[in-house]
Structure 1
Amino acid sequence: MKLLTASLQAEWMKTKRSAAWWLVITGGLLIPVILLIGRFYNHELIPAENAAPIVWTKFYSRAWNYMGNLLLPMGVILVTSLVAQVEVRNNTWKQLHTAPLPYSIIFLSKLTVILSLLLLGFVLFNLATFGMITLPAVFYQDVFFPKAPFPFKGMLLGNAKFFLDMLPIVAFQFLLSLQFRNFLIPIGAGFGLYVASMIGMNWKYGYILPYIYSSYEFSGKSTIGATQFNFHWLPAIYCLLFTGISYIIYLTKADKT
């Protein structure tokens, strides 16, 4: 446990020298800030919007629609590649592997930091969306805070689904980033797979594409075909598969520099 804690601390320090933190903060705040500006621009609509019983679900759904369909997958691709390839850019893989740390600890630490950054992005996004809905009441006297109860359980479940949908992207980008020294290869492959997944969304077997699940959330689909198979099992399976393959390749790779 001490080795894992020390390794995690070291990985967190490395992220401060990368653009990962800026991507997480910008990505978490961008959509809510844009929507807030739009609300201020059309401020005459805010009283009726805040009085509506669906105010929370309306604006959270709108924010997640923009976030989940485009910004979130792209951000996950970039952040995963940036964190996984810190040593490649700084040419410090040899230095890391001479440290008294098992390879399994190094692997787990990097993956944990990536998932933690993803979780941080979710927290920032939800807080910013909450602010987007409530802040106009601070600036306008004729606007009141939403009276509808906050659907905490529904929001938590929705966030959990989106987090799960991102896990195959994290796992596969992590696999690519550990295997290729060229930073552009995992980035290009990730963007290409995402675009291909969007194109193949209406394909009969589109559900097998691992980068598609966040878009599936907005398609109204919860099951697949006549079997009524819940597609949320697929991102979990892909994540375990890609992570397992990545771990095996990392351990058995002769040249880890």
Structure 2
Amino acid sequence: MQGFILSLQSEFYKTRKTLAFLSAILLPLALCLMVSAGFYLNAHKMVNHSAEMQWMRFSGAFIGVMGSLLLPLLIIFQSFSINNIEHKAEMWKSLFSLPIPKWSIYSAKFVYALFLNALCLTLFATFILASGIILDLLKPELKFNEFSFAGTLFKLHMKLFLASTGILSIQFLFSLLWADFLKPMGIGLLLTVFGIITANLGWKYAFTIPYTHPMLAINSIMKQVLNNKNQQMTFDLMSKEIWFSLAVATVTFVIGYFVIRNRSVK
């Protein structure tokens, strides 16, 4: 356990000043500022919407693009960046020469990748909520304060996090296998586009493709919310694509360990 904690701390210190870490903070902040500015400047066009609808429109401006494209691309970049430090500096031999089990080193890297994803999505939810509160102070006519959206917003982002674990595990494995950026990025981008197409076409087996899971999760949320118009916005956290995403993450995590265990460092 001590080896795992030391490896996890090492990952943080190695990446804290890199784009891999900074993107998890700056991207949610930048997007929230831009969307908030748009709502502020066009508040007079939205005063007739209910408070519930305002929150749905405001958060939907982020969630739609995030689930279909932005989140998979961010995961692809962050997963590659975490292992690229070792590839670039040829540090695998140094890492494995330490008196720390390979299992601890590998699992710490994977957990850190999960942490970056969780941090990014948590900040998205936090910044969206904070932006709505600030907009309500600046433009009370938007009525953001008339509906409590915090619980729904964080639950929604939790579902997106669970839906993205399959993509993260696959891209993490790709970044272990290849040192160059083009292979994991190219394959990841191709699979993301393929996932968007199959999800939009409504293919009944689209859930078997991990790159469709964030988009399918959003579609599942919207379907449940629209079917409960007269109730508060409720949806199931665990759905078919979430279970499949977690299964893919588990299997791929084990495969990645065997890749690391058998890696030659000579």
Unaligned runs of 5+ in 2: 225-238
Q: Give the aligned partner of residue 56 of structure 2.
A: 57
Q: Give the aligned partner of residue 66 of structure 1.
A: 65
CA RMSD of aligned residues (A): 2.4
Deviation for aligned residue 1:93:
1.5
Q: Tell me, what secondary structure is at the counterpart of 2:67?
A: helix
Unaligned runs of 5+ in 1: 224-228
Deviations 1:157-188 (A, max 9, x none): 31221011110111001111111122221111
Q: Give the aligned partner of residue 226 of structure 1.
A: none
Within-5 A mapping of 1:71-220: 71-140=70-139, 143=141, 146-201=144-199, 202=201, 203-220=203-220
- Counting aligned pairs with the same residue, the percent is 24
Supply the distance in 2 between the matched residues of 1:103 and 1:131 (Cα, whole angstroms). 41
Whether contact under 8 Å (1:31, 1:67) holds in the other structure is: no
How many residues are aligned here? Answer: 249
Whether contact under 8 Å (2:163, 2:245) holds in the other structure is: yes
Q: 1:200 to 1:46 in 2, by over 3 A?
A: closer
Q: Give the aligned partner of residue 233 of structure 1.
A: 243
Whether contact under 8 Å (1:168, 1:238) holds in the other structure is: yes
Q: Give the aligned partner of residue 13 of structure 1.
A: 13
1:238 maps to amino acid? V
2:4 maps to amino acid? L
Q: Which has the higher helix share?
A: 2
More displaced stretch, 195-204 vs 63-72: 195-204
Supply the distance in 2 between the matched residues of 1:78 and 1:96 (Cα, whole angstroms). 22
Whether contact under 8 Å (1:27, 1:71) holds in the other structure is: no
Task: Provide TM-score, normalisation by structure 1.
Answer: 0.87
Supply the distance in 1 between the matched residues of 2:141 and 2:4 (Cα, whole angstroms). 50
Supply the distance in 2 between the matched residues of 1:59 and 1:231 (Cα, whole angstroms). 25
Deviation for aligned residue 1:21:
1.7
Deviations 1:42-64 (A, max 9, x none): 13246555x62433333223321
Q: Tell me, what secondary structure is at the counterpart of 1:231?
A: helix
Establish whether residue 248 from structure 1 lines up as the match of residue 258 from structure 2.
Answer: yes
1:251 maps to amino acid? R
Task: Provide TM-score, normalisation by structure 2.
Answer: 0.84
Deviation for aligned residue 1:249:
1.8
Deviations 1:128-158 (A, max 9, x none): 1112212123335x54763334234332331
Whether contact under 8 Å (1:55, 1:148) holds in the other structure is: no
Deviations 1:25-48 (A, max 9, x none): 232223322211111221324655
Whether contact under 8 Å (2:51, 2:142) holds in the other structure is: no
Q: Tell me, what secondary structure is at the counterpart of 1:85?
A: helix
2:249 maps to amino acid? C
Q: Give the aligned partner of residue 36 of structure 1.
A: 36
Whether contact under 8 Å (2:68, 2:215) holds in the other structure is: yes
